Amino acid sequence: MKNICLYFEIHQITHLRRYRFFDIGTDHYYYDDFENERSVSDIAMRSYMPALNVLHEMIKKHGKYFRVAFSISGVGMEQLEMYAPEVLEKLQAMNESGCVEFLAEPYSHGLSSLVDGSLFEHEVHKQMQKIFEYFGQKPKVLRNSSLIYSDEIGLQVANMGFKGMLTEGAKHVLGWKSPHYLYHCSMAPSLKLLLRDIVLSDDISLRFSNPQWEGYPLFADKYVERIANIPKEENVINIFMNLSALGISQPLSSNILDFIIALPDCAKQKDIAFATPSEIVKQEKSVGALNVPDTLSWLDEERDVSSCLGNDMQREAFNKLYSVAERVRIADDSRLNQDWDYLQDSNNFRFMTTKPSHVGLNRGIYDSPFDAFTNYMNILGDFIWRVNSIYPSDIDNEELNSLLTTIRNQAKEIAKKDKEIAKLKKKAAK
């Protein structure tokens, strides 16, 4: 039986404010709170809440037949907590049905998997903890930021204990193969791979309301019929997109939600089911290894990371940011950690792209890639200044780590002595 695996990403960038060179060392607040509140409130009203209400009603109507998966970045959850808590409350209500799966992903929606394995693992575990706090689920499947994947990343994800991972069904990787099977990591056969069907996904998320598109208008029955006509042995139909596609990329006036509502009824008529990523991983057998020596993603036509790291500005910003990764980890300062999460967001690097094609990219306050680079580097300059002001750069990481370990051990010893003194005082008082 064919299974539709329907997955939505939820992520909210933390917008940076205009930050001048002369602010470095004097002003350590980097965020445009007004724009953050405005943008989150707007997307919650125009997309998230209408879409989630519809998905929830579909679960109530169809019961265990209809299933859906989400991943939410940690920084996205923080934005929702502040400005649109009703979105998280709705997801909690949907979670009670048992028809929703939440996936793991890096907390910051950043690019740590490309540069620092230990940091990547830390970020994923941090996001998983937040998922567990809200929904009581321990994710078994991971989706990396922008579906970034390579053989080496897959090996690390398998070593982290995950059973499955989502990535892009790119033609240059698949060749003659179909995305409608379950594959496995070439370096770790225990990690199963679910590949996004680019055409079926983008027909909804990118083209649905475009009257110039040859497939316009798109109706649910015709869409499901296309799925039914896929060769019968190809059982895995992965439809992955941003939740904001329902209401923002495709406005509600286009009847996009009516299309979504009709999918289960049409699928039932064709004997097509819905399944979550974990269910696919458990039910289906891999048909073979997927070899991905170079980095793959769902970004732009190239399906690589060139829209984030394709020019000198992006690479300079990226390298400078991660040059202090170890010192930030060792420092373990709550304010630095929060800024670190926000500065890692991959959108900060996408704003610097000079590529002519950048689907779904809105530069916000920036007039150009160079403008985005300049503003980010000013902020990064202050951030690194703060790191070095707490822990001077002339102390290397190994020495700093040893020093901090000594300090923490001393603090534990002092706390232990304090307890002993308190006990003795209490005993003396008696």
pLDDT of 188-202, one tens digit each?
999 999 999 999 999
Overall average pLDDT of the 243-270 stretch: 97
Overall average pLDDT of the 284-302 stretch: 93
What rounded mean pLDDT belongs to the chain? Answer: 93
What pLDDT is stored for residue 391 in this prediction? 73
Count of Cβ atoms closer than 10 Å to residue 253 Cβ: 8
Q: Which two tokens stand for residue 127?
A: 């996001």
Q: How far apart (Å, rounded) are the C-alpha atoms in residues 123 and 341?
A: 9
Distance of CA 49 to the CA centre of its chain: 19
Task: Look up residue 391 and give its DSSP letter.
Answer: S
Provide the β-strand partners of residue 21: none
**Helices marked H in 6-116:** 33-43, 49-62, 74-83, 85-95
Overall average pLDDT of the 246-261 stretch: 97
Q: How far apart (Å, rounded) are the C-alpha atoms in residues 136 and 193?
A: 24
Kindly report, residue by residue over 382-419, the tens digit of the pLDDT.
999 999 888 766 666 566 666 656 655 666 667 676 77
Q: How far apart (Å, rounded) are the C-alpha atoms in residues 345 and 76?
A: 10
Kindly report, residue by residue over 87-96, the tens digit of the pLDDT.
999 999 999 9
pLDDT > 90: percent of the chain:
83
Lowest mean pLDDT among 81-90, 350-359, 392-401: 392-401
Q: Which two tokens stand for residue 181?
A: 């099977």
Long-range (24+ apart) CB contacts under 8 A made by 200-207 are 200/226, 200/227, 200/237, 200/239, 201/238, 201/239, 201/240, 201/241, 202/241, 204/239, 204/241, 204/245, 204/250, 204/256, 204/259, 205/241, 205/242, 205/245, 205/249, 205/250, 206/245, 206/249, 206/359
Q: Which band of pLDDT confidence, cut at 50, 70 and 90, is reported for residue 363?
A: confident
User: Pairing between strand 68-72 and 100-103?
Assistant: parallel
Kindly report, residue by residue over 99-108, the tens digit of the pLDDT.
999 999 999 9
Kindly report, residue by residue over 138-162, the tens digit of the pLDDT.
999 999 999 999 999 999 999 999 9
Structure-token match 């002369």, residue found: 22
Tell me which of 427 and 62 has the higher pLDDT: 62
What pLDDT is stored for residue 188 in this prediction? 97
Q: Residue 77 above 80 pLDDT?
A: yes
Amino acid at 10: I
Asked if 297 and 146 touch (Cβ cutoff 8 Å), the reply is yes
Give burial (CB, 10 Å; 0-12/13-18/19+) of 409: exposed
Kindly report, residue by residue over 220-230, the tens digit of the pLDDT.
999 999 999 99
Q: Which band of pLDDT confidence, cut at 50, 70 and 90, is reported for residue 331?
A: confident
- For CA atoms 301, 3, 62, 163, the dihedral sign is negative
What pLDDT is stored for residue 421 in this prediction? 74
Overall average pLDDT of the 212-241 stretch: 97
Which helix (H) or strand (E) is 270 found in, with range?
Answer: none
Q: How far apart (Å, rounded) are the C-alpha atoms in residues 306 and 172?
A: 15
Q: How far apart (Å, rounded) are the C-alpha atoms in residues 74 and 70?
A: 13
Kindly report, residue by residue over 418-429, the tens digit of the pLDDT.
777 777 777 777
Q: Residue 112 above 90 pLDDT?
A: yes
What pLDDT is stored for residue 316 in this prediction? 97
pLDDT > 70: percent of the chain:
92
Q: How far apart (Å, rounded) are the C-alpha atoms in residues 388 and 157?
A: 32
Asked if 11 and 72 touch (Cβ cutoff 8 Å), the reply is yes
Q: Which band of pLDDT confidence, cut at 50, 70 and 90, is reported for residue 265?
A: very high
Asked if 145 and 76 touch (Cβ cutoff 8 Å), the reply is no
365-404 as b/e: b if 16+ CB within 10 A: ebeebeebbbbbbbbbbbbbebbeeebeeeeeeeebeeee
Q: Which band of pLDDT confidence, cut at 50, 70 and 90, is reported for residue 351?
A: very high
